[in-house]
Structure 1
């Protein structure tokens, strides 16, 4: 007997997919609207007569051509009188009731008609009433529309809707069958496993199978991306996972996942992946508002979205370029298009935010914390600081005061609420002035919470009442409204892992609920997936990352050795130079001299990494003054994508002259880039990468000093050495690569730093003098001269 494919869908999901039409609406709804809507439903249901049965579950199956469609949902109400049955569908609205006509929304009627059909066929009823009950959220008024339908016309309607969905379901079903068949036959995308690669792949599969977490330190060259994607895809075929989320911190690292999946397609894989690009980067109409009046890609969006989905499914992948191509073709919003495609894609490549951030995570997948997804967390060392920011919130006095003045004439009540917040911030400023422009408190600022909640209420009320009006401070109000909302939401999870701090800077005061230890919240967030794979070349020390990223004693751990020949790397340490902050102004010329020696020994491309822009710029200017004949480039703050690409493009294998790039550790050029072969033959790393000393870092240090007596390590040493190792890892990217790395700082020979070196750094050359640098480099390159 042929297997029947069962697809489950809600009544609402069915009609919204098949019958959706109209514009993409980006309308302010307020944070409490969903709760208010539920209360409105309950109010109407409770006030109804005894014949009214509320929240009645109904389900029905349709089976055609090997697919069984199970449709279910809950009718808001069923009124069972002796002479007639009425299906009641309750909808809340902010539109004045006098403007509502019977045909206001086809989807509302469609949903109710589906319930009416299911009830009628199950209870053998020929005629049934369908009632739409509209509840006006502001006036509390109610308006009802009633239509009578017979079973025959309901059946025609229902069958038509179901058949249209089944047509789409059949297409998806065929695609999924092809996918599973291709996965079954799929071999590893490369001719053989690299050293450690198979071990990692097996560990990943086991982790997924057992619904656990694994922390994997896999040095550059092992092929981490393939080693985590391949077993995840195999696990999909076996039914262990239904979706793969490949999560990254930076746009540049997403290309590695896309490239690996392309390689697997060359081996016969049939799998759909989508890359979600941030809205502000992919928007076609960023100069104007996200509404049908100003954006042609929002107008009629739902009239065209289904055809666009069917059209793009001819493609093997949904990368940014492909999404933009089809979005332009069908005149639809590319960002919303990518989110829609994520519903059907097997692998979603996106930023950490979409899985972990409480403000923007993809609730359509993670709402019930019960998904059958695997989370692949690339460059997991970056998640530490990103998580702290995701789970923190702040407000600034200057934005409060400015908005208070802006709203003074048009929104006096709102302005008065902002004045209360400003008054609290003035008190906070005074506390800061007493304590060296800083104020710390382990307790949350309870006094300001009612004031902010009051502002949120009046802001929502004002924006809803004036949503059709233009006002100059609209964007400013919306921005602070969401900040205030985030502040309150963050306060609800405030515990011993948080601290409240205020800081006075120039003419401003910042008040922040700061998440010191994100481990618990990350652990909870990872429950949104079945398993989590956290991997990086620099998860050192492992215990630190397991602790801070939400692992526990049940989490798997794997450390892999570098597959590259140690002879291909010349690693040196110059500990005669101190790059400690107070010593830097005395080291500029010494660092310049070291750079000169390294780059002049062999023509090629080099990058020098620094702990700060200030230090980098000073050395850069001195180096250029002394060496005008050498080609140089310098990283700038907030470089655009095109500028970054131009920077990297100049690192060509065809260079016949010396090229030296100057960059900062932990920046856009220190990780996630592959300058293979002769595109990069050396790096000079100035300093141990310690984050700049600041209030937040010192707070983190004091917290962990009290918790585990590793305050300085958690706040400074470990994050710093991760930057160093990432920067050094730019040189050797493949088995054929060869290059030199010079570490400049006396602390590199301290035991506390040396114990963090990876195994392949054990034979580091300790430099005696500048002549020794030249000799060591010359001896190294001499081995490869033919």
Structure 2
């Protein structure tokens, strides 16, 4: 049976013939539009003898392959007996610097179109014309070459021969991979409680092309239970790629380790971890041009050899592997990783490579209905991340600043900055008077035209003034404005426009309150999505807010660990509401003292804010100088975080109490197994700080479904509580205690959110009852 290949002329030619440097020197975002305009200008300069935009398709057999190649010739010119295939290219380069051999890739495209047209129309000879159109001068320069059909056929088949080398590798790899997948069994001797059920649910979701939202507690093995059935689906030809999406580096490692477990059992699979450009760049500074980066210079001359080398020798492609081969072949590691993702079966990356409209992987997601599987780990994080992705803002201060700075040397640009500044002043006058905040459902459309005009002027300035001392900061502003305009295209009933007075400055934000529709549109670009987390409570809320619908599946699993391993105490006689906090310091300190004094070990205490934490910390340390304490600081660097966590790994004879904030870096995604952590106190129900933005969310969902407070405050807050609580029991042998302090924890609406493994909780009314319960627990 022949193997099917479908490829466009452009992708075929660019892959085989690409050469030269990476050069991300600013050329403007409107080049694509200008290119279209250039094509139209050239095409309209001809008469009836010229047919523009001619669609061509050629299907043929080559060895064991049936190849379908398609494309669109810019124009076919018929003059007397001459037939000329026209390939149009727009440029900003002066035409006198362009000669016949300026870019061989351009000739290659033209020759492919020429061959396809000649075959389709049974022509033995024709001419290929390259037309270069200078965007600034609007002048053209043309080169024409004559070819026979046999010459074009020799070139075309030579091109296909090179491509088949890659295609053979792809098909051979697919066979090797699929055989190994069929022979693969679950990589562990037995399934944990609930694990098999989760794996089956994932597989059925993929087969039925649905989305699954599942709460799978720590210990169930959710990573392997989602990846294993997804890989099985690839082996059955149901899917072609898995995107494992996560918000944190540590969860990328967990996914990679799960794949390694299967590789040790005989699996052959190509997996890659995509690392952000800033974290993988080999240059001293991220400057992607041949003048300032040796890896950008000549990158495209060497990158295909690098890809072939990696694919020939490596299956698990990590950051270190990419760096090794990037150095060996002197290519850009980030661009190499993106190219390698095309040949990979499992792509492990951040949420934004799929969901963010500004940075998503266009090579995969420009169309809907692909046979991809999205595995979305720690899916609760996607709620706020997606609001950031689909929102954008501008502030007044830069408009005023650059208006003044450019007034003398660039008066026209200064006037454009002034127009934007004036409209921001108008917004301020009309909407900010009695309050520092204002919002409305309708767009303030007056802001868009001056910003669009400024963007256009900035493009010209950025191209011409590359050496200007303000070039870098103006470039950053340009992309911020471009993002603002791009996000405005998504504006609908799920958005509001809000204005905020910040001292003398004014902020205008397009705020996406409800991202569910935009997320659902992204999910349609794949076959199925599995959204999973240990804390996806309540499931109906997460299915709704993450883009699911009534037909999508929800499932909840109980913890596989014995309930008796956790002592759960609820101190519901203390109110930690903001207005009551100053009165609670001593009571909370006494609760913590009693909680940590019954067994020596390491403890966490989590607080709803830094200020509250610091006040309790001072009070606690003054009263307990003999207890080791460490405290989370605001804006800790990577090394500081490591040092903080390393304190839990030390063997120490005395008790250590770590003070941290709910929703912070230490309340989620860290594993402190066994004696490294034996207990945690959680102060408050984790509610986000009351603010203008949160209140907008509350009002919106109150109208939508009557659950405004829950969506804006309660559910996000309790998620922080569940995440922090999940630090205590990390394995089946762990035993630990958990103390929740807040009167709201025992109210009906909060108790309804408790996971099943919390149903055995005990209320404690004072420090004495804490002591009694813990003595019973630690002595058993």
- Do these two structures clear the TM 0.5 threshold for a shared fold by scoring above it? yes
Q: Secondary structure at the match of 2:580?
A: helix
- Cα distance, 1:264 vs. partner? 1.2
Any idea what SS the aligned residue of 1:500 has?
strand
CA 1:284/1:636 → structure 2, altered by over 3 Å: closer, same or farther? Answer: farther
TM-fit CA distance, 1:495: 1.9
**Is residue 2:631 matched to residue 1:634?**
yes
Q: Is the 8 A contact 2:568 2:762 kept in 1?
A: yes
1:522 matched to which residue of 2? Answer: 519
Deviations 1:351-400 (A, max 9, x none): 11111111111111111223221111111111111111111111112232
Dislocated runs of 4+, deviation >4 Å: 61-65, 121-126
CA–CA distance in structure 1, aligned partners of residues 288 and 452 of structure 2: 27
Return closer, same or farther for 1:629/1:334 CA change in 2, 3 Å cut-off. Answer: farther
Gaps of 5+ in 2: none
Quick one: structure 1 residues 65 and 433, their matched pair in 2 at CA, closer, same or farther if it must change by over 3 Å? closer
Q: Is it true that 1:581 corresponds to 2:569 in the alignment?
A: no
Larger deviation: 544-553 or 616-625? 616-625
8 Å contact kept, 1:432–1:504: no
Please state how far the C-alpha of 1:433 moved relative to its aligned partner: 4.6
Which residue does the alignment assign to 1:78?
Answer: 76
CA distance in 2: counterparts of 1:170 and 1:629, whole angstroms:
69
Which residue of 710, 714, 724 maps to 1:713?
710
Deviation at 1:655, TM superposition (A): 4.2
SS at 1:434's partner residue?
coil
C-alpha distance in 1 between matches for 2:642 and 2:328: 27
What displacement does 1:715 show? 0.7
Deviations 1:212-254 (A, max 9, x none): 1111111221111111111111111122211111111222221
Distance 1:734 1:234 in 2: 27
| Kept after mapping to 1: 8 A contact 2:591/2:766 | no
Alignment partners' CA distance in 1, 2:618 and 2:306: 53
Shift of 1:91: 0.9
CA contact (8 A) 1:432 1:503 kept: no
In structure 2, C-alpha distance between the alignment counterparts of 1:408 and 1:778, rounded to whole Å:
75
Tell me whether 1:376 sits opposite 2:375 in the alignment.
yes
> For residues 122 and 524 of structure 1, do their structure 2 counterparts lie closer, same or farther at Cα, with a shift above 3 Å needed?
closer
> CA offsets, 1:592-647, max 9 Å, x none?
33223222322222222111122222323333333333333222233333333333
Looking at structure 2, the residues matched to 593 and 406 of structure 1 have their Cα atoms a distance apart, in angstroms, of: 59
Query: Take 1:742 and 1:359, find their aligned partners in 2: how far apart are those partners?
Result: 43
Partners of 1:280 and 1:286 within 8 A in 2: no
Partner of 1:317 in structure 2? 316
The structural deviation recorded for 1:431 is 4.5
Deviation at 1:757, TM superposition (A): 0.8
- 1:774 counterpart (766, 771, 777): 771
Partners in 1 of 2:295 and 2:654 — Cα distance? 49
- Deviation, 1:756, is 0.9
Question: Is 2:731 the partner of 1:726?
Answer: no
1:219-618 pair list within 5 angstroms: 219-285=217-283, 287=285, 289-313=287-311, 314-431=313-430, 433-466=432-465, 469-618=466-615
Larger CA deviation: 441-450 vs 629-638? 629-638
Aligned residue for 1:528, secondary structure, equals coil
| Residues 520-545 of structure 1: per-residue CA shift (max 9 Å, x gap) | 11111211112121111112112211
TM-score with structure 1 setting the length? 0.95
* Cα separation, 1, equivalents of 2:435 and 2:707: 26
C-alpha change, 1:499 and 1:149, in structure 2 (3 Å) is: same
Tell me if structure 2 keeps the 8 A contact 1:288–1:294.
no
Any idea what the Cα deviations from partners look like across 1:167-209, whole Å, max 9, x if unmatched?
Answer: 1222222222111111111111222222222222112111111
In the alignment, is the contact (CA less than 8 A) between 2:432 and 2:499 conserved in 1? no
Shift in Å, 1:287: 2.6
SS in 2 for 1:504: strand
Distance 1:409 1:663 in 2: 52
CA distance in 1, matches of 2:709, 2:73: 59
Name the CA distance, whole Å, in 2 between partners of 1:673 and 1:245: 23
Change (3 A) 1:565 1:10: same
1:10 Cα offset (Å): 1.5
The Cα shift of 1:271 comes to 0.8
Most deviating of 656-665 and 521-530: 656-665
Alignment-derived partner of residue 643 in structure 1: 640
Q: Summarize deviations over 1:475-500 as a string: whole Å, max 9, x none.
A: 22222222222222222222221111
Q: In the TM superposition, what is the alpha-carbon distance from 1:716 to its structure 2 partner?
A: 0.5
The aligned counterpart of 1:196 is: 194
Gaps of 5+ in 1: none
- Comparing 484-493 with 269-278, which one deviates more in the overlay? 484-493
Q: SS of the counterpart of 2:349? A: strand
Q: CA deviation at 1:84?
A: 3.1
Distance across 2 between alignment mates of 1:328 and 1:603: 50
The 2-side partners of 1:644 and 1:279 are apart by: 23
1:146 is paired with a residue of what secondary structure? Answer: strand
Report the equivalent of 1:12.
10
**DSSP-derived class of the 1:484 partner:** helix
Q: What number of residue pairs does the alignment pair up?
A: 779
Give the CA deviation at 1:719: 0.4
Q: Bigger CA drift: 653-662 or 671-680? A: 653-662
1:112 aligned to which of 110, 114, 120: 110
Asked if 1 retains the 8 angstrom alpha-carbon contact of 2:571 and 2:764, the reply is yes
Query: Which segment is superposed worse, 366-375 or 23-32?
Result: 23-32
1:34-82: per-residue Cα shift (whole Å, max 9, x none)? 1232232233223323333333333445655534443322222223445
- Cα contact 2:94–2:134 (8 A) shared by 1: yes
RMSD: 2.0
2 CA distance for matches of 1:286 and 1:414?
33
Partners of 1:403 and 1:476 within 8 A in 2: no
Q: Please say if residues 129 and 149 of structure 1, whose CA atoms lie closer than 8 Å, have aligned partners that are also in contact.
A: yes
1:62-120 superposed Cα distances (whole Å, 9 cap, x missing partner): 65553444332222222344533322111111112122111111111111122223334
* Contact 1:69-1:166 at 8 Å conserved across structures: no
Kept after mapping to 2: 8 A contact 1:120/1:151: yes
Q: Distance in 1 between matches of 2:28 and 2:344?
A: 31
Q: Is the 8 A contact 2:278 2:286 kept in 1?
A: no
Of 605-614 and 102-111, deviating more is: 605-614
Helix, strand or coil for the counterpart of 2:317? coil
Alignment of 1:28 onto 2:26? yes
Secondary structure of the residue aligned to 1:354 is helix
Q: Is the 8 A contact 1:403 1:473 kept in 2?
A: no
SS of equivalent to 2:188 = coil
Q: Per-residue CA shift, 1:308-358, capped at 9, x if unaligned?
A: 111222112112222122222222222212111111111111111111111
The 5 A counterparts of 1:47-86 are 47-60=45-58, 63-64=61-62, 66-86=64-84
Are the equivalent residues in 2 in contact too, given 1:56–1:75 (CA < 8 A)? yes
How many angstroms does 1:255 deviate by?
A: 1.4
* Worse-matched range after superposition: 682-691 or 235-244: 235-244
TM-score (norm 2): 0.96
Work out whether residues 86 and 129 of structure 1, in 8 Å CA contact, stay in contact via their aligned partners in 2.
yes
Instruction: Tell me which moved more, 442-451 or 286-295.
Output: 286-295
